[in-house]
């Protein structure tokens, strides 16, 4: 029969071994001479580790050692984040973060394209004011907006805030011939 003291000693030894297994791998020692830096990849796929090294570019010649260690519970080829320790040949050290992977959980913002300002107030015929403004600015670009002397927006049928069709006529102050642009709009829903 094993004594209580022996069981306690075995339990302490198992706890000590278990905690050693959870400690991160120690970084390799920096090389004494020149050449390629020593690289340590800890919990990071080799291809990702190489990508992290490639981002250093020209600085690699002065680097003695690089340790890329996963800083999330799991790092995969698809996504993850790692802490990067760089040890230079002169003894300086720097750390940074390297992330890769999946798209953010929210969509990227869509840039708002601001139409050119209207040089004149459009004449709206048979359509709501906001749709009139939209149809008046849709046919303009930066090179024609300043030369417009008159804008007529005409609905060809019944125009509501959700759908309509018609045409916009632009008359220019610099002698260019007038331009007429057909349009229609329809909101989904």
3-state secondary structure 70-131: ECCCCCCCCCEEEEEEEEECCCCEEEEEEEECCCCCCCCCCCCCCCCCCCCCCEEECCCHHH
Same domain, 32 and 82: yes
Q: Which domain holds residue 165?
A: 123-186
Same domain, 87 and 152: no
Same domain, 94 and 140: no
Confirm whether 6 is domain-assigned: no
One pLDDT digit (tens) per residue for the chain, 189 residues: 455 555 445 545 444 444 444 444 444 444 445 567 788 888 988 888 888 777 766 566 678 888 889 988 888 888 888 888 888 888 888 888 888 876 555 556 666 656 666 778 889 899 888 888 888 887 777 667 778 889 999 999 888 888 899 999 989 888 888 889 898 888 765
Question: In whole angstroms, what is the distance from residue 71 CA to residue 74 CA?
Answer: 8
Same domain, 35 and 92: yes
Confirm whether 118 is domain-assigned: no
Domain count, the chain: 2
């Amino acid at each position: 029969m094993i004594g209580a003291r022996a069981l306690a000693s075995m339990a302490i030894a198992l706890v000590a071994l278990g905690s050693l297994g959870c400690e991160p791998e120690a970084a390799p020692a920096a090389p004494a001479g020149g050449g390629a830096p020593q690289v340590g990849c800890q919990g990071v796929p080799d291809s990702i580790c190489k990508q992290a090294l490639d981002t250093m570019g020209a600085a690699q010649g002065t680097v003695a050692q690089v340790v890329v260690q996963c800083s999330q519970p799991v790092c995969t080829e698809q996504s993850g984040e790692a802490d990067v320790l760089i040890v230079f040949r002169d003894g300086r050290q720097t750390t940074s973060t390297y992330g890769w992977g999946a798209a953010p959980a929210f969509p990227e913002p869509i840039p708002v394209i601001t139409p050119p300002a209207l040089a004149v107030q459009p004449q709206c015929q048979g359509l709501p004011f906001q749709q009139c403004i939209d149809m008046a600015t849709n046919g303009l670009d930066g090179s024609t907006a300043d030369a417009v002397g008159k804008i007529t927006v005409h609905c060809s049928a019944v125009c509501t805030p959700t759908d309509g069709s018609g045409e916009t006529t632009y008359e220019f102050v610099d002698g260019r011939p007038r331009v007429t642009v057909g349009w229609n709009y329809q909101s989904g829903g």
